[in-house]
Structure 1
Amino acid sequence: MCWVVPAGAPVVRVGELARDAVLSRKGLPIPGPGLRIAVPVPSERLQNLVELARTVSGQPVTAINIITEDLQYQVASAGMEPYVCSREDSMCAVGFLNGTSTVLEDASLDPRYSSNPYVDGTRGAVRFYASVPLVSDDGFVLGTLCAGAREPGQLSDRQRQGLEILAAEVVEALALERRARELASALTEAQRSNTLLAEFAGRISHDLRNPLTSILGYVELSQAEAQNTPDANIAQYLDVVAGSGQRMLDMVEDVLAYATVGGDVRPVPLSLTALVSEVLQDLDASLEASSAVVDCDDLSFSADPVQMRVLLQNLIHNSVAYCRPGVPPVIRVTGQRRDGSVAVRVIDNGKGISESDRERVLDPLVRLHREGDPPGTGLGLATCARIAAAAGGRLEIGPASGPGTVVTIHLGSDS
């Protein structure tokens, strides 16, 4: 007796010549040289599912079979040791692509199976046989969940439905395990990248610090000599250079330390106006050239001073660099505290960023390539977003009330 029950999911019957490639993309082993295959050790979840299938079906043997272009192998089994056989000898390969559940009271009476080596006594003497296709979300049939016995038997409708439910769970478990392996691989790659970044930071620290130290040394000597000159502007210029150089040296030290230790954020009490004042001094030349106007509200908050300065410098620089032709930049920096959180906003009257681009410009190396835009690396906003995330916050881009952009840095418990 044979019950053929329609499966609930569509089935892909084309592309069988590329079957191994599809299985590989789904994270399942494929045959190696000489048709050898490394059968994975079953996970606890898959083993529990195949044991549950044995209980539900009431049969002594159950298995989760993956069928490749040439082979069949088990990723989990109950009541027998997993084995590998050719697809030609596989019972499950006979009709698994039909997308239907099959139940045979006695496989030896069915002409499709009677001469199979696992039925005719060559390798086994299976009588009762049931299988449910394992159909992935895209309709590709991975293999089967099967149950068998040496004696004829039956399944009730409830038992058959139980096996079909378990087959769907097997497909989900296989997909989850693939995603878990991909995440583990991505984590390993991220750790490797972080190690390389730390090594790179260590190598360049000497090359970055020494020139800055040398510059500051000559500035100090020039400041001493400038005391004997009647031109007061020279001393003022040297003070600006010394201040900017020292902050750059501090920034190099702290950013390198940040890269080396994986993000050592050291928050201290800060004044927003004091931070912006230092940034404006560093950007004085570009601000003057563009006739930019910068206004800032004061706010006391806690953050890492070097990283926050880098963030504000990037944002204010962007507001100047991406201004509208013929329109002097007007930039307003505001801060707001609410319910234990802080929001710092940089608002400009520049070109703005379209809604469709506001997420992707936070990714590294993404640039919009608009007409008239200055050259750049596409790392500025990505760096700002990373600094906000390292502080436990987030960066958000939105439209201004008129032309321009509002960039908000959320810090604190509500971020």
Structure 2
Amino acid sequence: MLEEYGLPQLEPHTAGTAADSPDTRGQLQNLLSLATTTTGIPFGVVNIITEDEQHHIAAMGIDPGVCSREVSMCSRVFLSGGTTVVPDASLDPMFQDHPFVTGQIAAIRFYASVPLTTANGFVLGSLCVFSLAPAELSTEKQAALEIIASQVVSVLELQHHARMLARSLEEARNSNELLESFASRISHDLRNPLTSIIGFTELGELQGSTDAEDFRIIGRTSRRMLAMVDDILSFSRIGGALRRQPVSLRAVVRDIEEDLALCLKDAGAEVDVADFALEADAGQLRVLLQNLIHNALAYSRPGVPPRILVTASAVPDGVQLQVTDNGKGIPEQERDHVTEPLVRLHRDDDPPGSGLGLATCLRIAKAHGGRLEISSGPDGGTTVSVTLPALAHASSAQATAPAARAPRN
């Protein structure tokens, strides 16, 4: 626990991060000065007590130092749960034979100690004031000392949170570096075969093949896949920067239908889409919608042709996209779980998959500052709703535009 606070050494924050803050030692020294001034007691220390030692991380009237826990006065009382006030330690049974009282190390008489207790009940050490002459501490001064001790804890808590933030930022940087490296390798592995496919299709088009239209479709699909590789590589970098631009929902779905043409034909599927103009990252929106439409095909009910409806509408906090199908559906208790990476339901007759589709959709929604929700469809299937906040707007004509089948090339 003490290591999480950077104690007892009070390690400096990492430069250049959000964890930077005014000097912790300086703040503690100021609070200790306030404690001695308020109580009228000349000496004071902020102690951090470890399993074996007592460390002065701030001191007033003496040089800060380290002593063994065995000879520490505060170690005898800092776990008592309350403030200890001793007017004359030479007369107190707990301290009269202590080396800091007998003269062996020092000749302390007045002694007062307040535990430094965190919000979760962990005791870091103590704030203590002392003098070489007997003294009294009024109720008001004791209350003031306890308030100052609570402020010492607040400073140490701030140090703790700053360290945790710095650590989290460093872990995020490391994680993003690994992700970017992985995406770069995948990009390289995908780019080469896609480039070859594009080259062969262009050659087929130039040679005037009777299948020239098929070559053109393959070429367009391959180019979009290559663009998607670049977009995913960009998204893997720190911040996942988006390139927002006006996007036609119908145009995006038309491209997806072309990419999934064989799957749609084999399943006897129909895709209806209501056109809508919105502002989003076109590449990532296409990835999101393609994942959802592909899921609707993959998890259709046996013997029931898939019916997929893609809509968008203005809502109070932005624009909501919905993809609704008539497939197997997702049990309510599993709807949060299936958006986690590599999670699949493993139902009978479910096709193989990576378990990354819905997780990718959720990540894209969050990257836009939005959210993703799963509910039941009207035919017992699934409705996935993605809300994009205030980054989208309807075109002037779409309010009256009826749902229409997306045309295919």
TM-score (norm 2): 0.82
Which residue in 2 is equivalent to 1:115?
97
Tell me: CA distance 1:124–1:388, structure 2 relative to 1, closer, same or farther (3 Å): same
Cα displacement string for residues 330-382 of structure 1 (whole angstroms, at most 9, x for unaligned residues): 22111113568322111223344445544444343344445544333332222
Deviation of the 1:28 alpha carbon:
4.9
| 2:141 pairs with 1:159 | yes
Write the deviation string for residues 116-173 of structure 1: whole angstroms up to 9, x where unpaired: 2222222222211111223334444332222212222222222222333343444444
- Distance in 2 between the 1:237 and 1:399 partners? 38
**Residue 177 of structure 1 aligns to which amino acid in structure 2?**
Q
- Indicate whether 1:183 and 2:160 are aligned: no
| CA apart distance, 1:46 | 3.8
Do the aligned residues in 2 keep the contact of 1:202 with 1:260 (CA within 8 Å)?
A: no
Partner of 2:279: 302
Separation (CA, whole Å) in 1 of partners of 2:380 and 2:319: 25
Within 5 Å, which residues of 2 pair with 1:13-412? Answer: 22-24=1-3, 26-29=4-7, 38=9, 40=11, 42-225=24-207, 227=209, 229=210, 234-260=211-237, 262-338=239-315, 341-401=318-378, 403-412=380-389
Letter of the structure 2 residue corresponding to residue 348 of structure 1: D
Q: Structure 1 residues 158 and 337, CA, compared in 2 at 3 Å: closer, same or farther? A: same
> 2-side partners of 1:372 and 1:92: how far apart?
68
Question: Equivalents in 2 of 1:370, 1:144: separation in Å?
Answer: 59
**Cα pair distance change 1:64/1:192, threshold 3 Å:** same
Q: CA deviation at 1:104?
A: 0.6
Two-structure CA RMSD over aligned residues (Å): 2.9
What is the rounded CA distance, in whole Å, between the counterparts of 1:373 and 1:137 in structure 2?
49
Assess if the C-alpha contact under 8 Å between 1:267 and 1:304 holds in 2: yes
| 8 A contact 2:115–2:126 mirrored in 1 | yes
Provide the C-alpha distance between the structure 2 equivalents of 1:100 and 1:288, rounded to a whole number of angstroms. Answer: 77
**Aligned counterpart, 2:397:** none
Equivalent pair of 1:145/1:167 in contact (CA under 8 Å): yes
Structure 1 residue 88: Cα displacement: 0.7
Distance 2:127 2:225 in 1: 64
Supply the distance in 2 between the matched residues of 1:154 and 1:85 (Cα, whole angstroms): 27
1:212: how far off?
0.9
1:390 Cα deviation from its structure 2 partner = 2.7
The amino acid across from 1:121 in the alignment is G
Give the Å deviation of 1:393: 3.0
Q: Tell me the distance in 2 between the aligned counterparts of 1:40 and 1:257.
A: 36
CA offsets per residue over residues 49-88 of structure 1, 9 Å max, x none?
A: 4344334433223332222221111333344332211011
1:39–1:246 distance in 2 versus 1, CA, 3 Å: closer
Please give the per-residue CA displacement for 1:216-245, whole angstroms capped at 9, x wherever unaligned. Answer: 111222234454x4xxxx444333322211
Residue of structure 1 in register with 2:406 after alignment: none
Give the stretch that moved more between structures: 321-330 or 112-121: 321-330
> Looking at both structures, which has the greater relative contact order when contacts are Cα pairs under 8 Å and sequence separation is at least 6?
2
Indicate the SS of the match to 1:276.
Answer: helix
Aligned counterparts of 1:176 and 1:357: Cα–Cα separation in 2: 39
* Residues 191 and 153 (structure 1), Cα distance of their counterparts in 2 relative to 1, 3 Å cut: same
Aligned AA (1:186)? S
Greater Cα offset, 399-408 or 306-315: 399-408
Gaps of at least 5 residues in structure 1 are: 1-21, 30-36
State the Cα deviation string for residues 78-115 of structure 1 (Å, max 9, x = none).
44332211011100111222223210111121121122
Contact 2:46 2:126 in 1 (8 A): yes
AA partner of residue 220 (structure 1): E
The alignment partner of 2:79 has SS state of helix
Alignment length, in residue pairs? Answer: 381
Checking the alignment, whether the CA contact within 8 Å between 1:271 and 1:298 is kept in structure 2 is yes
Contact 1:340-1:414 within 8 A present in 2 as well: no
2: distance between equivalents of 1:366 and 1:75?
49
